[in-house]
Amino acid sequence: MAELSLPERDIIIICLLGLANFLPILGRLVLKDRFSWPVDLGLRWTDRRPVLGPHKTWRGILLSVAGTGAAGCFLPVGCRLACLVALFSMTGDLVSSFVKRRMGLESGSRAVGLDQVVESGLPLVFFRAELGITWPETMGLVAVFSILNIGLSPILFRFRIRRRPH
C-alpha cells in the first residue's frame, strides 16, 4: 500500500470497511432467511438478554470475510489483509452488539458512535502498520467511516436495503 497516494489508500480502506459491513446486509436481501444461523445460537447471557441477537449471523460473517477478501485480491491490500480487515470489522460489530444487549438495547437498535467506532476502529488499529496508516490517520478514517455510515443509513432505509433508518 506504500506505493499508493494518500487519498487512494484512504479510499481503498474506507471501501473495504464499507464492503465488509454491507455484504451481510446484501446477503439478507438476496438470501432472505436461508443460512441465517445466529452466531449466539439464540443463547442468553446471565442478564437473561440475548448474547448478541438474531441479526448477527454466520452467513453475514462468512459473506463479509469471503467477499471482502475476494475484492482484496484485485486491490493493493491483497486477499489476506482484506479478509483480516473484514474479520476484525465483524468482530467489532459483534462486540458492539454484545455491549448494546448489556445496555438493554434491542437487536438492530442504534448506538451512534459505538456501532461505527468499534467496527471500523478494531481492524484499523490492529492492521495499522500493514495498511500504512498513522494514529491520526486511523482516527480520521474512523471518523470518515462513521460519518458515511450514519449519513448513508437513512438513504439505504429509503431504498429498503436497511431495516431501520439508522
pLDDT digits (tens, 9 = 90+) for 53-101: 999 999 999 999 999 999 999 999 999 999 999 999 999 999 999 999 9
pLDDT above 70 (res 105): yes
pLDDT reported for residue 75: 97
pLDDT reported for residue 51: 98
pLDDT reported for residue 37: 97
Verdict on whether the full-model pTM lies above 0.75 = yes
- Residue with the three cell numbers 474512523: 142
**In Å, what is the CA distance from 39 to each residue of 49, 51, 70?**
15, 9, 23
If we measure between CA atoms, which residue out of 115, 109, 116, 164 comes closest to residue 144?
116
